[in-house]
Amino acid sequence: MRRFVFDAKKLQELKERVISNSGVKNPTRVELVTALIYRCALLSNRANSNPPRPAVVLQAINLRKRMNPQLTENSAGNLSWSSMVLVDVDKEPGLNWLVGQYREDLEETCKSLARKQNGTDAVLAFFEVMD
């Protein structure tokens, strides 16, 4: 297992660069680091595979705080989903684009799953996404 430590100052610089070069407002550290690692993996894939292998990034999402109303941290059970970004492996993956795609997928996931008001709607939304 590897552990990567990102300097807070460097993350802030990266955040400012992404904000100035894209339409993403206030990207989170998770969005930045996920996009950065994914971009490096995609570039490695392109350099070491001919043709490049298809790639996707999956990021776990804790839906508890994204529900309306929010669930408490001590609610029973797990409530999570994953966000998925697909990339055309023949194109150069830009960091700004990846951050934007990750944010877009996260927002869409939250709209379709986490914003449901009652259990029946939430279960139906879950199965709609699975279909």
Domain-located, residue 120:
yes
Residues 6+ apart with CB under 8 A from 111: none
Task: Assess whether pLDDT exceeds 70 at residue 130.
Answer: no
d(CA 120, CA 130): 16
How far apart, in Å, do the first and last CA atoms of the chain sit?
Answer: 34
| CATH assignment of the domain containing 75 | 3.30.559.10
d(CA 21, CA 16): 9
What global pTM score does this model have? 0.71
Q: List pLDDT tens digits, range 4-28.
A: 899 999 999 999 999 998 878 899 9
Domain that includes residue 18, residue range: 8-130
d(CA 115, CA 32): 24
C-alpha angle 45-101-57 in degrees, rounded to nearest 5:
40
Q: How many domains in the chain? A: 1
Domain-located, residue 1:
no
Q: List pLDDT tens digits, range 66-99.
A: 776 666 767 666 666 777 787 777 777 788 888 9
Domain-located, residue 113:
yes
Domain-located, residue 3:
no
